[in-house]
Structure 1
Amino acid sequence: MIKRLAVLVLLFVLAYAQAPQYGLEGRVTYSASYPWGRWQGSNTSLAGAVTWDSGSGQMGGRVCVDLTRFDSGNPLRDADGRGVFEVNKFPQSCLTPSRLNLQGESAVLLGTLDLHGVRREIRATGTLTKEGGVYVFRGGFATKFSDWNLNRPTLIFVTVDDPVEVAVEVRATPR
């Protein structure tokens, strides 16, 4: 009987000791350029679930983006992008977050991004605000095609510049 009670107490303590869980949804936007201009493409398929201990900053979970869903307003450019990502072999990109450090509203998100079969640590800087009962992270990072073994797109001998800016807006709703 005492063993059962001890197990129940332990389960109760562990249930409350776990970091809060959040469902995620949002948007990823890239900004790219070439010598004669700049453009953006957005993707609203960002989704996942994470745990976050606001005291320690520790995070767990996973958030993914469907790489077939970027929209730049130019269907030919979007088709080229799907070719660059090789979406038939690598249909999604996923982030495994490890920490979210805060100083006021300033935030630094650390994690491992898996893109095109390559896993790399990333550091996204931005802000974290609370809007009602929902946390909203707005931030981004710069990256290069070569970091992910991707070939830079070229059209009539004009190559897209490196780096590419990546911006995210993520809404985290408590579960």
Structure 2
Amino acid sequence: GVVLDVGCGYGKWGFLVWLHLFENRGKCTIVGVDVSSEYLKSARRLNVYEHLILADARNLPFKGRFADVSLVCEVVEHIGSKREGLRLLSEVERVTKRRVVVTTPRSNEAFFGSPDHVTKWEVGDFKRLGYKVRGVGLAALSWKKGRLASLLKHFVLKPLAYVIPRIGEYMVCVKELGRG
């Protein structure tokens, strides 16, 4: 199958996919797309991508359903407007057969931690598009220091973010397309 890493950047997500599928490497092709030639140079050094393509994700250079699974990890928040972000997601869905996975910051701390984060996405934005949304991590809350508070935060509340994504620091959004 083909995994398309949209906005692959330096290649960290492609590298993680490659590590996970290492034993079955011949059964999976990883293709990276990014708008930055500098990022693609760095990704090339990892030697995990079969192809690296310089392109804008809002206008992908593929005809039809090219990828089995597409990853859009830490990308949509960098797009200048929600309208353009929706265009990007539509384009990724156009070239994907089975599944699209999107990750993006949800909490203010994760979002505002980078000056390049220009568009904030909420759980409902993805649910309206047919994505299942899960939370990861825990948005910062005011905590008293101490062992009990730390245990509560890490072992009770963080796992809750999976089923209550609005309390998570990041969102993982998955859309099953079910096309062969």
Instruction: Give the TM-score band, short-chain normalised.
Output: under 0.3
Normalised to the residue count of structure 2, the TM-score between the two structures is: 0.23
Query: Which of the two has higher C-alpha Rg?
Result: 1
Higher relative contact order (CA 8 A, sep 6+): 1
Normalised to the residue count of structure 1, the TM-score between the two structures is: 0.23
More helix per residue: 1 or 2?
2
More strand per residue: 1 or 2?
1
